Structure 1
Amino acid sequence: MKKKKLPIGIDDFKKIIELNYYYVDKTLFIQDVLEKRAEVTLLTRPRRFGKTLNISTLKYFLDIKGAIENRNLFKGTKIEETDYMEYQGKYPVIYLTMKDLDGEDFESFFEAFKTLISSLFETHKYLREKLDERNLLFFDKIWFQEEKANYDTALKFLSQLLYDYYGVKPVILIDEYDSPFIIANEKRYYEKVKTLLGRFYGSALKEGIISFSVVTGILRIAKESIFSTLNNLKVSTILTGDYNYFGMTEIEVEDILKYYDLETTLGDIEKWYNGYLFGDLKVYNPWSILYHCSSGELKAFWINTSANLLIKEILREADREIFNIFHTLLKDGSVKTTLQENMIFGMRYSDSTLLYLMFSAGYLTIDRKGEEKNQYFLTIPNYEVKEYFKDTFMEIVSPRNYGKFTDLIVALRDGNVTGIDSVEELLQTMFEASMSYMDGSTEEKFYHNLILGMMICTDSYFYPLSNRESGYGRYDIALEPKDITKIGYIFEFKIADNFNDMDKVGSEALKQIADKKYRTDMENRGIKDIREIALVFCKKSLRFYVK
C-alpha cells in the first residue's frame, strides 16, 4: 500500500487534506474554541507544536468565503460528528500570521509590516465594490502601501468593513502575535514595535466590531496595551491544561509509527521527543516525530528559532547563578523557580525570566510542583532538547572554545593527558578563554561548574559524574567510560590563596584522591585504567597535576 506523504513544514489545513497528507485529527480544537468562546482567547504554546495548523483549521471551518467548498475538507473528521458543524461557514474571517515579520531595523520592519497588511487587504479586495468614496480611499491607501495610510488601525478598519458587507461580526485569528516583539527586542527597536502593534492589535480587539478572536504565541507579554484593558480575555498556557490539541499524544504517536512501519522505535522515540507536560497531559514534539517518520533517524530535528535569539541574549548577560542552573539541568537535575507567565521586555532579565522563557519555548518542562504558589521544579524534557542545551551552553559560556570540545573528547578518549594537544593543554587553553568571559572567583563551586561544563560534551564516550560518593568521600568530577575497557578519570579541584601555594595544594589534592579511595566505584565496575588529576585554581590561573 502506498503511504500518505508526511506534511513536513506544511501547516495549511486545506493543503494537507486536499493533497492527502497524513493528518493527525485535531478538529475538536474547533469545538473547544466555540464552547469556551471568549471575546479574545490567547493560546501560548511552543513553536512547531501545531498552533498554526490549528488556527488554519479554524479559519477554513468558520470562513464564510468558500463555505460550501470548505465543508468538504471536514468530511470524516471528528468535528463532523458534533453539533458544532452548524457553525461551519458562518463568519467572515480575518486571518493573519506574524511569524515571518522581521527587519534589521524599525524602518525595514515597518516596510515588511506594510506589505503584510497590504496582502491581507488584497485577500479582501472584493469589499471595494460596496465602499463609499471615503472608505475606498482609506482601503486603497493601505492596499497600495502608501506612506500615510492608517496602518495602526487597519485591523479595526477591516473588521468594520467585513461587518458592513456581511451583516455578521467577523472572527479575527492572529498567529504568533509575539514573534515581532521578540525579534524587535533582539534588534533593539522594541519600543517602536510595541507602540505600532499595541495600537494595531488593541484597536481591533478592544474597540473593533468582532464576534470573537483567537490569538496564538509563545509568550504572554506583560504590560502591553493589547491585553491591558480587555474585559473578557481567556488565557490558556502550558500550565492550564485546557485546549489539549497541541503536540502529539502517546496514542497518536503509536498510530503514526505503526502506519510508517516504525513501531520498534517507540521506546527510543519516547526518550528523544516525549516529556512535555501540557497541563496534566504528556505530549511529544510533532515536528520531530514527522521528521523521524520521514528519515527513520533519531536526532535533534526541532529548532525553536524565534525564542533562541532571546535566550542567547539573556545568557550572555546572565549572572553566575544561571551558570550553575545550566549545570544542574545538564546533569538531568531539576531547578526550582516561580512561573509568573508574563514576559517583560526592556529590563534586566532575572533567572526566573530566563527559566520562564525556556519553559514557554519548550526547552524545559515541569518535573513537579513546589510548595508555594506558582512554584515549580523544571527539567529538560528529552534527549533532543538536551543536545540543544549542550551546544548552547558551550557556545555562550565558552564562545572561544566552541571548536575545541571535539579535541578535548579525543584527548580524553585516547588518554593523552599531558603534552601536545593533551587534556592538560586543552583545559588550560579553554580555561583561559573562558576566564576572559567570566571573572575570577574565590568559590570552588564556580570553577567546578566551569570545568564540568567543558566535560558535558564528552557524554558520547563517558558518563560525566559530579560530587558522587566513592570510597571514603565525594570526588569533584569523574569521567566514567561507557566501555569499561577504556580509560576513566577522577578530578579533584582546589583553590590556592596565592600562586606560591599552588604546587603544595596540588600535592594535597592528589593525596586526597588516594587517601579517600575515590577510584573504588570505577574499580568495582571493572574499570582498570583510571587517571587521577588535580586542578588547582588561583584567580584566573589553572595548574594541572597528575599522579
Structure 2
Amino acid sequence: MARTVSIGNQDFEKMIQRNCFYVDKTGFIKEWWENEDEVTLITRPRRFGKTLNMSMLKCFFSNKYADRGELFEGLEIWEDEKYREIQGTYPVIFFSFAKIKQTTYKETIEKIKKIIFDLYQEYAFIGKWNGLTDKEKENFNNISYDMSDVIAQEAIVDLSNYLSRYYGKKVIILLDEYDTPMQEAYVNGYWEELVAFTRSLFNSTFKTNPYLERAIMTGITRVSKESIFSDLNNLEVVTTLTPKYETAFGFTEEEVFKALDEQGLSGKKNDVKIWYDGFRFGSKNDIYNPWSIINYLDKKKIAMYWAESSSNGLINSLVQKGSSNIKMMVEKLINGSTINVVIDEQIVFSELDYSEDAIWSLMLASGYLKVISSEELNLIRESDNEYELALTNREILFMFKKMILRWFSPAKSETNEFIKALITGDIESMNEYMNDVALRTFSSFDSGNHTSDKKAPENFFHGFVLGLMVDQSDNYIITSNRESGFGRYDIMLEPKDKQSEKYPGIVIEFKVINPRRENSLEETVEAALKQIEEKNYDAELINRGVDKENIHHYGFAFRNKEVLIDGR
C-alpha cells in the first residue's frame, strides 16, 4: 500500500510515526560518524532534505530520544548492532537560522539571541542544578532576549559546558541553515556587521569548545573562510563538488523510480526525469530535488515546484544588474549551450557586485547550474577550478524564462506592443515605452551601489535581449556581441523565415553618451547608427539570406535614465 505523501514535513519523528512517505537516508548517520570529523559543514541547494536529515540526526543521537529505537526499526542504520547501542545517548544542541530573514542588523541579532534563549529554556532545569556554581547559575538565568553581544557569542559554549557535566558526556551540536542570515545581510547592506558577530559566535561554539564531541552545520553556500571561519581550522567542508555524502541529500534515480512505482506512476518516469533530474553531487549524477518529486507524487502533474518554492530574488538581481557578458552567458544557457567558467566554492558575498566568477559559483551552489559529466569535464578543464556548466534541468530553464519575462512587467501587453513597434519600425512607440521602463526600473534598482550609473542602462537592455528571445524564439534567432562585417554588433535578430517581409532582420547598437565627443543624445544615437553602417553589421544577415532592404537598424542612446532610440 502506498504511503501518504506529506508536503513540507521536516520532522523525522512525525514522519516515521505517521508512516508518511520517506526515503531512507539513515545510512548518512553511519557515514558521518565513521568519518570522525569534528566539525562538518555540508552545503546543498534549498529544499534538498537538509533540515529533515538534521532532525533525523537529532532523533538518533539525542538522549531525549533514549529508548526510542522504534523510530529507526526497518531502516538501514538499525541493521548494525553497534549503532543500536549509540542511539539516544548524547546531549544534543539543535538550532536553526532558517527563519532569520530580517532586513536590519539589529533585528537579526535580536532573532539570534531569541534562538539562544529558547535553547536555554529547553534545559531550564539545569539552571537549578547543584552541579553548577552560584556564578554559573546566575549566568544561566541571565540569558535573555536583551543579553549583550558578548554573552550571546559565548552562550552556546557555556551551554555545552553545563550539558556535558550534567550528562557526563560531550555534546553534539547541529546548526541548520547557518548562512540564511548571511544572504539577508548581503541583500540588505549589513554584511560586515553580521560577519563580525558570527565570527566570534562560531569560533567559541565550534573551535574553542572543549565540551564538543562533534558538530554539523548545513547551508546553501560555503561562505568564505576569511569571512566567518577564519579561526576554524578543524572544519571539514563538503560542497556539491565533494565526494562525501553524495547520496545523503536529494533523491537518486533509483529512489525516485521506486517511489513512482509505489504511487502507481510507473509510466511517468521519462517525464519526471526530463523535468527534475540533473543535479550532481561529487561524482554522482542523476540526483533529483526532493521538493519537486514529493509534490509530483502528491499532485501527480508536472509543474515548477522547486523553482517556485521560494524567492529567487538574489539570483534575479545579480543577473538583471550584471554585465552584458553575464546576460550573454545566460542567453547561451537558455539556448541549451554550456558555459566555461572559473568556480570558487568559497562564496565571498562582498565580491558579488563585481566578480562574475562569484555569481556563477553562487548559482552552482544554489542548484541552478550543474557540472557536466566527469568524462567531458576532464577534456574541457583548463585549470583546477574551471568547469563547464549547464542549466540543471527543464524546471530551471522555465524558471529563468519566467524571470526574464518579469523584467518587462508590470504589463505584458506593453512588452508585446514594444516588440511589435520594434518589428514594424514604430520609433515613437519604442521611445515612449523604453523611457517609461527605464524610469520605473532604474528608480527601483540600487544601481548606484552595485553598478555604475554609466553601465546600468546598457546592462539592463542586454537583459532585454533575453526577454525578446523568450517571446520571439519562434520567429527569430537572436545573437549578441558577435562579429559581422568589420566589427561586433550588440544585438542581432535574424528572422527564421528569410522570405517574409513580416519579420525583418534587426541590428541594434547601444551607446552611452560621451560628453567629450557628443553634445546630445541625438548625436550619440546618430553615432550608433553610423557605426552599424560603417562596420557593415548587415553582412551576416545578408550572407544568411536576408534581403538588405528588409533589415532595420536601431541605435539606443543613454544618459542616466534617459533613452533615445532612432532607426533607419
The answer on whether the counterparts of 2:103 and 2:184 sit within 8 Å (CA) in structure 1 is no
The answer on whether the counterparts of 1:47 and 1:304 sit within 8 Å (CA) in structure 2 is no
Per-residue deviation at 1:503?
8.4
* CA shift in 2, pair 1:492/1:118, >3 Å: same
Trace 1:453-492 onto structure 2 (pairs within 5 A). 453-458=466-471, 464-466=477-479, 476-478=492-494, 480=496, 489=503, 491-492=505-506
The answer on whether the counterparts of 1:440 and 1:539 sit within 8 Å (CA) in structure 2 is no
Q: Secondary structure at the match of 2:22?
A: coil
Trace 1:507-522 onto structure 2 (pairs within 5 A). 515-518=542-545
Q: Which residue of 1 aligns with 2:410?
A: 403
Any stretches of 5+ residues in structure 2 without a counterpart? 443-451, 483-488, 511-522, 559-563
Picking from 307, 310, 315, the partner of 2:314 is 310
Q: Secondary structure at the match of 2:340?
A: strand
Q: For the residues of structure 2 that align with 1:166 and 1:501, how far apart are their CA atoms? A: 79
Amino acid at match of 2:200: R
Q: Which moves more between the two structures, 129-138 or 177-186?
A: 129-138
The answer on whether the counterparts of 2:505 and 2:546 sit within 8 Å (CA) in structure 1 is no
Any stretches of 5+ residues in structure 1 without a counterpart? 521-530
Trace 1:417-428 onto structure 2 (pairs within 5 A). 417-418=423-424, 425=429
Per-residue deviation at 1:328?
2.0
* CA shift in 2, pair 1:192/1:449, >3 Å: closer
The answer on whether the counterparts of 2:509 and 2:532 sit within 8 Å (CA) in structure 1 is no
Deviations, residues 40-86 of structure 1 (Å, cap 9, x unaligned): 011011111111111111111111122112x1110100111124333
Q: For the residues of structure 2 that align with 1:51 and 1:167, how far apart are their CA atoms? A: 29
* CA shift in 2, pair 1:366/1:137, >3 Å: same
Deviations, residues 472-530 of structure 1 (Å, cap 9, x unaligned): xx99434659xxxx99845331559975688899999898688535369xxxxxxxxxx
Q: Secondary structure at the match of 1:183?
A: helix
Q: For the residues of structure 2 that align with 1:300 and 1:256, how far apart are their CA atoms? A: 19
The answer on whether the counterparts of 1:153 and 1:203 sit within 8 Å (CA) in structure 2 is yes
The answer on whether the counterparts of 1:478 and 1:488 sit within 8 Å (CA) in structure 2 is no
Q: Secondary structure at the match of 1:243?
A: coil
Q: Which residue of 2 aligns with 1:364?
A: 369
Asked whether 1:300 is paired with 2:300, we answer no
Q: Secondary structure at the match of 2:312?
A: helix
Q: Secondary structure at the match of 2:145?
A: coil
Q: Secondary structure at the match of 2:245?
A: coil
The answer on whether the counterparts of 2:66 and 2:88 sit within 8 Å (CA) in structure 1 is yes
Per-residue deviation at 1:113?
1.7
Q: Which residue of 2 aligns with 1:335?
A: 339
Q: For the residues of structure 2 that align with 1:317 and 1:276, how far apart are their CA atoms? A: 27
Aligned length: 516
Q: Secondary structure at the match of 2:346?
A: coil
Picking from 243, 255, 262, the partner of 1:259 is 262
Q: Secondary structure at the match of 2:272?
A: helix
Q: Secondary structure at the match of 2:173?
A: strand
Amino acid at match of 1:299: A
Q: Which residue of 2 aligns with 1:535?
A: 553
Trace 1:139-158 onto structure 2 (pairs within 5 A). 139-142=140-143, 144-148=144-148, 150-158=151-159
Q: Secondary structure at the match of 2:63?
A: coil
Q: For the residues of structure 2 that align with 1:117 and 1:163, how far apart are their CA atoms? A: 17
The answer on whether the counterparts of 1:479 and 1:490 sit within 8 Å (CA) in structure 2 is yes
Picking from 212, 215, 218, the partner of 1:216 is 218
Deviations, residues 428-474 of structure 1 (Å, cap 9, x unaligned): 73488459869889xxx98995553122322686675548x9xxxx9
Q: For the residues of structure 2 that align with 1:430 and 1:538, how far apart are their CA atoms? A: 10
The answer on whether the counterparts of 1:465 and 1:480 sit within 8 Å (CA) in structure 2 is no
Q: Which residue of 2 aligns with 1:18?
A: 17
Q: Which residue of 2 aligns with 1:527?
A: none
Q: Secondary structure at the match of 1:346?
A: helix
Q: For the residues of structure 1 that align with 2:540 and 2:461, how far apart are their CA atoms? A: 16
Q: Which moves more between the two structures, 533-542 or 338-347?
A: 533-542
The answer on whether the counterparts of 1:330 and 1:456 sit within 8 Å (CA) in structure 2 is no
Q: For the residues of structure 2 that align with 1:371 and 1:63, how far apart are their CA atoms? A: 47
Q: For the residues of structure 2 that align with 1:150 and 1:190, how far apart are their CA atoms? A: 21
Amino acid at match of 1:171: I
Q: For the residues of structure 2 that align with 1:433 and 1:416, how far apart are their CA atoms? A: 15
Q: Which residue of 1 aligns with 2:515?
A: none
Q: Secondary structure at the match of 1:150?
A: helix
Deviations, residues 175-218 of structure 1 (Å, cap 9, x unaligned): 11111111122222222222222222210111111111111111
The answer on whether the counterparts of 1:98 and 1:180 sit within 8 Å (CA) in structure 2 is yes
Q: For the residues of structure 2 that align with 1:221 and 1:495, how far apart are their CA atoms? A: 39
Q: For the residues of structure 2 that align with 1:440 and 1:195, how far apart are their CA atoms? A: 33
Q: Which residue of 1 aligns with 2:74?
A: 76
Per-residue deviation at 1:315?
3.8
* CA shift in 2, pair 1:190/1:308, >3 Å: same
Q: For the residues of structure 1 that align with 2:135 and 2:66, how far apart are their CA atoms? A: 30
* CA shift in 2, pair 1:292/1:491, >3 Å: farther
Per-residue deviation at 1:291?
1.4
Q: For the residues of structure 2 that align with 1:184 and 1:237, how far apart are their CA atoms? A: 22
The answer on whether the counterparts of 1:535 and 1:542 sit within 8 Å (CA) in structure 2 is no
Per-residue deviation at 1:361?
0.8
Q: Which residue of 1 aligns with 2:46?
A: 47
Amino acid at match of 1:365: K
Q: Which residue of 2 aligns with 1:188?
A: 189
The answer on whether the counterparts of 1:64 and 1:92 sit within 8 Å (CA) in structure 2 is yes
Q: For the residues of structure 1 that align with 2:494 and 2:187, how far apart are their CA atoms? A: 39
Q: Secondary structure at the match of 1:29?
A: helix
Q: Secondary structure at the match of 1:228?
A: coil
Q: Which residue of 2 aligns with 1:117?
A: 116
* CA shift in 2, pair 1:450/1:342, >3 Å: closer
Per-residue deviation at 1:32?
1.1
* CA shift in 2, pair 1:424/1:386, >3 Å: farther
Asked whether 1:382 is paired with 2:381, we answer no
Q: Secondary structure at the match of 2:410?
A: helix
Q: Please report the RMSD computed on the Cα atoms of aligned residues, expressed in angstroms.
A: 3.8
Amino acid at match of 2:357: S
Q: Which moves more between the two structures, 259-268 or 283-292?
A: 259-268
Q: Which moves more between the two structures, 490-499 or 347-356?
A: 490-499
Amino acid at match of 1:233: L
Q: Which moves more between the two structures, 403-412 or 214-223?
A: 403-412
* CA shift in 2, pair 1:403/1:488, >3 Å: farther
The answer on whether the counterparts of 2:427 and 2:566 sit within 8 Å (CA) in structure 1 is no
Amino acid at match of 1:403: P
Amino acid at match of 2:346: N
Amino acid at match of 2:73: K
* CA shift in 2, pair 1:266/1:456, >3 Å: farther
Q: Which residue of 2 aligns with 1:323?
A: 327
* CA shift in 2, pair 1:338/1:511, >3 Å: closer
Q: For the residues of structure 2 that align with 1:247 and 1:174, how far apart are their CA atoms? A: 19
Identity, % of aligned positions: 29
Q: For the residues of structure 2 that align with 1:30 and 1:249, how far apart are their CA atoms? A: 18
Deviations, residues 366-423 of structure 1 (Å, cap 9, x unaligned): 135312111101211112112222333455xxx4x323545555897x999549xx89
Give the alignment's TM-score, normalised by structure 1: 0.82
Per-residue deviation at 1:241?
2.0
Deviations, residues 231-265 of structure 1 (Å, cap 9, x unaligned): 43211110012202111111111112222222232
Give the alignment's TM-score, normalised by structure 2: 0.80
Asked whether 1:97 is paired with 2:108, we answer no
Q: Secondary structure at the match of 1:402?
A: coil
Per-residue deviation at 1:297?
2.5
Amino acid at match of 1:455: L
Q: For the residues of structure 1 that align with 2:316 and 2:506, how far apart are their CA atoms? A: 31
Asked whether 1:349 is paired with 2:354, we answer yes
Q: Which moves more between the two structures, 120-129 or 313-322?
A: 313-322
